[in-house]
């Protein structure tokens, strides 16, 4: 049985990624335009034409898994490199305060949940 804090963190992280995935695919709210080095980076990803649809479907699937509480360790493992990229991009490229706060929030939630589900990751972290 997981604690209330673990459930709240799982649901919050699930809502963030499910919501961003839905918005990315269905365009409920326009995304703010990027500027400077971030714009160059984002424009390169847009030019590939496959990256953002794949990313938003990944957000949707992992967010749904977190929301319903199924395959949580798999969802956390899938999101980990994405969250590292989000954090590095927003901490090192010029970003708004809201973007930095959201990057910090998902990073903290991911680390908390990884710790909460650490038993599921023990076999991955064995040397043999």
Helices (H) and strands (E) in the chain, counts: 6, 0
* CA separation for the pair 116, 125 (Å, rounded): 15
**Which pLDDT value is given to residue 92?**
84
Neighbours of 54 (CB within 10 A): 10
In this structure, the chain runs to a length of 128
**Which pLDDT value is given to residue 69?**
96
**Which pLDDT value is given to residue 97?**
86
Q: Are 44 and 71 in contact (CB under 8 A)?
A: no
What pTM did the predictor assign?
0.89
Q: Return averaged pLDDT per consecutive 10 residues of the chain, 128 residues in all.
A: 91 98 93 79 89 96 98 97 93 82 96 96 84
* CA separation for the pair 21, 55 (Å, rounded): 8
Buried b / exposed e over 4-34, threshold 16 CB at 10 Å, is eebeebbebbbebbbebbbebeeeeeeeeeb
**Which pLDDT value is given to residue 105?**
96
Cα separations in angstroms, 93 against 34, 50, 114: 10, 23, 26
């Amino acid at each position: 049985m997981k604690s209330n804090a673990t459930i709240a963190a799982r649901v919050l992280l699930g809502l963030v990624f499910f919501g961003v995935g839905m918005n990315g695919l269905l365009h409920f709210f326009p995304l703010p335009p990027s500027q400077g080095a971030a714009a160059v980076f984002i424009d390169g990803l847009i030019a590939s034409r496959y990256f953002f649809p794949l990313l938003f479907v990944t957000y949707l699937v992992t967010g749904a898994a977190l929301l319903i509480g199924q395959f949580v360790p798999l969802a956390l493992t899938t999101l980990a490199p994405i969250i590292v990229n989000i954090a590095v991009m927003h901490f090192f490229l010029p970003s708004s305060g809201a973007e930095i706060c959201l990057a910090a929030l998902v990073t903290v939630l991911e680390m908390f949940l990884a710790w909460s589900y650490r038993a599921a990751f023990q076999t991955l972290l064995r040397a043999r």
